[in-house]
Amino acid sequence: MRYRYMALLASSSVLISSAALAQETNVAQEAAPTSVADIMVTARKRTERLQDVPISVNVTSGEDLASADVRNLEALSGAVPNLHIQATPGNNAIYIRGIGSSPGNLAFEQSVGLFVDGTYAGRGRQFAAPFLDVASVEVLRGAQGALFGKNTAAGAINITSNGPRSTREFATTVTGTIDGDNGFEVSQILSGPITDKFLARAALKYSDNEGWLENTTTGDGNPGREDMIGRIVLDYLASDTLTFRLKLEGASQDLTGQPMSSVGPGSSKGFTRQVSPNVPDFDNTDSFNGVLTINKDFANGITLTSITGYSSFEYDKRIDSDFTAADLLRSTFQEEFSQISQEVRLTSSNDGPLTWIVGAYAHTNDMAMYQASSISMGPLNGTSRRWFDQENNSFSLYGQGTYTFNDQWRVTAGLRQTWEDKSAEQTRATNGVLPPTWVNTPLSGQRDESQMDPSVQVQYTHSRDVMFYASYAKG
């Protein structure tokens, strides 16, 4: 599905202050909007003032996320206007301005792209803890295909983790939860220089929560959740013009029970659920991510950036699908996924009337999925099993330039050409007496596609705090 997006917008620091800081207060209640014009973002893959960027961007700092207790993508929905994120058995369903992709087909990537430290995540489980020790979260509304790729027709979420600092840092945070979701969370931050050229930062988190739904069958709280997450970021400052950053992250998440309950006709919703005692109800994910970022500055102000990423996960999930104490329906989901990506780009300096960025991006990923559904209801008694394997290869070239005519007018134009192919095979096996829709049909196919995504923005700057722009983009 393709979208074209056009906007005619006015941007001012006073209006952006409430959005950028993700506060629910209105403009009249803002205390100090004068500093908002100096918020820096990387929405166009270079560091710029938010007020100078002709994109609808919402910026939330890591401190604001922590103070609002935003720990995951679902919780981000309450902090960012026009953003809705819903957890599902497969991918998260992400919508911006009401536009997004249904999570029903797990072979499809979302129309809202997720990027963590420069690495694209088309699967919701690739990053278990994107908000652990985070520096900022940028939500870009509208098609972002020219700079971020074809799977950003509705927008993009750009997350940046904290890196090492020149001063030593040691911080321990302990959080307890009572009355509905009993549990605790412990996080530890260690950061600082090891030598003059070598810096390191470690972020660790362990949490254990019982869950806010009472499972009347087992007596437990659902969904019980135990997380163990570790991340290390290493910086090597080879010279004044050459730097290396390596990020390694591993996570294990174990959930017991589901955040779902059934309500009978005429009954009121309660905080209880029932399951079959013979059907374990769990969702366990193990993930690993690694990113190597290299920056080389040249004398003419041009910067060469290389981002090499690896991402993998495997999960095992079982659901008592009838949500009652009877053993009527059960579902099993299992998946293994791995992805390797490479991006290389050249970025001009911010000086002069013409600034530009050109680059190339490629990734390859493989997924192997197993799903099973069992039914025991009246005359129906059997199991349907499905094995799904998919390989995806994508390559793109992109470029964007901004020309400043004078202090008031500037024009930006971008273009991205993408080539992508997917091949997949699905086999099914059934036994017993099943509903007619649970057919035993094998499927296989391949699709090759090329896509060109342009974008154009015209800006008029009235003053330091007021800017108007018109934007056209396709994704």
pLDDT band at 306 (very low <50, low <70, confident <90, very high): very high
CATH of the domain at 427: 2.40.170.20
Least confident of 57-71, 255-269, 416-430: 255-269
Please state, as a whole number, how many other Cβ atoms lie within 10 Å of the Cβ of residue 264: 7
In this predicted structure, what is the pLDDT of residue 10? Answer: 43
Among candidate residues 449, 310, 321, the one with its CA nearest the CA of residue 375: 321
Task: Name 284's Cβ contacts closer than 8 Å, sequence gap at least 6.
Answer: 252, 253, 254, 255, 315, 316, 317
Proportion of the chain above pLDDT 90, given as a percent: 58
In this predicted structure, what is the pLDDT of residue 89? Answer: 55
Q: How far apart are CA 88 and CA 51, in angstroms?
A: 36
Per-residue tokens: 469: 């722009």
Per the prediction, the chain carries an average pLDDT of: 86
With beta carbons less than 8 A apart as the criterion, state whether 444 and 437 touch. no
Per-residue tokens: 79: 């902090």
Does residue 28 register a pLDDT over 90?
A: no
Mean pLDDT of 25-52: 66
Does residue 181 register a pLDDT over 50?
A: yes
With beta carbons less than 8 A apart as the criterion, state whether 256 and 223 touch. yes
Where residue 432 falls (left for φ over 0; alpha for ψ -120 to 50; beta otherwise) is left
Mean pLDDT of 241-250: 97
Residue 27 in 3-state DSSP? helix
Q: How far apart are CA 158 and CA 414, in angstroms?
A: 19
Least confident of 13-22, 31-40, 61-70, 396-405: 13-22
With beta carbons less than 8 A apart as the criterion, state whether 200 and 235 touch. yes
Proportion of the chain above pLDDT 70, given as a percent: 90
In this predicted structure, what is the pLDDT of residue 231? Answer: 96
Mean pLDDT of 322-348: 92
Instruction: Convert the pLDDT of each residue in 134-176 to its tens digit.
Output: 999 999 999 999 999 878 989 999 999 999 999 999 999 998 8
Per the structure, the count of domains in the chain is 1
In this predicted structure, what is the pLDDT of residue 16? Answer: 29
Does residue 9 register a pLDDT over 80?
A: no
pLDDT band at 88 (very low <50, low <70, confident <90, very high): low
Q: How far apart are CA 103 and CA 459, in angstroms?
A: 36
Residue 20 in 3-state DSSP? helix
What DSSP assignment string belongs to 34-95? Answer: GGGGG-EE-TTSS-EEGGG--SEEEEEEHHHHHHTT--SHHHHTTTSTTEEEE--SSS-EEE
Largest CA distance in the chain: 77
Least confident of 174-183, 286-295, 399-408, 419-428: 174-183
In this predicted structure, what is the pLDDT of residue 178? Answer: 80
Instruction: Convert the pLDDT of each residue in 269-291 to its tens digit.
Output: 778 888 888 788 899 999 999 99
Mean pLDDT of 309-336: 90
Q: How far apart are CA 284 and CA 282, in angstroms?
A: 7
Strands (E), 348-408: 354-377, 380-404
pLDDT band at 25 (very low <50, low <70, confident <90, very high): very low
Residue type, 201: R
- C-alpha 182, offset from chain centre: 27
Task: Name 392's Cβ contacts closer than 8 Å, sequence gap at least 6.
Answer: 363, 364, 365, 366, 420, 421, 422
In this predicted structure, what is the pLDDT of residue 22? Answer: 32
Burial class (CB in 10 A: 0-12, 13-18, 19+), 415: middle
CA distances from 184 to 207, 341, 439 (A): 6, 36, 46
pLDDT band at 90 (very low <50, low <70, confident <90, very high): low
pLDDT band at 75 (very low <50, low <70, confident <90, very high): confident
Residue 19 in 3-state DSSP? helix
Mean pLDDT of 95-118: 83
With beta carbons less than 8 A apart as the criterion, state whether 333 and 298 touch. no
Among candidate residues 16, 5, 90, 79, the one with its CA nearest the CA of residue 52: 16
pLDDT band at 79 (very low <50, low <70, confident <90, very high): confident
Domain ranges, residue 341: 4-474
Instruction: Convert the pLDDT of each residue in 111-141 to its tens digit.
Output: 888 999 999 988 878 887 777 899 999 999 9
The C-alpha R_g of the chain, in whole angstroms, comes to 24
pLDDT band at 91 (very low <50, low <70, confident <90, very high): low
Specify the residue for token string 């090329």.
450
In this predicted structure, what is the pLDDT of residue 37? Answer: 52
CA distances from 31 to 18, 66, 325, 336 (A): 10, 20, 53, 49
Q: How far apart are CA 86 and CA 96, in angstroms?
A: 12
In this predicted structure, what is the pLDDT of residue 14? Answer: 29
Cis peptide before 223 (omega within 30 of 0): yes
With beta carbons less than 8 A apart as the criterion, state whether 190 and 164 touch. no
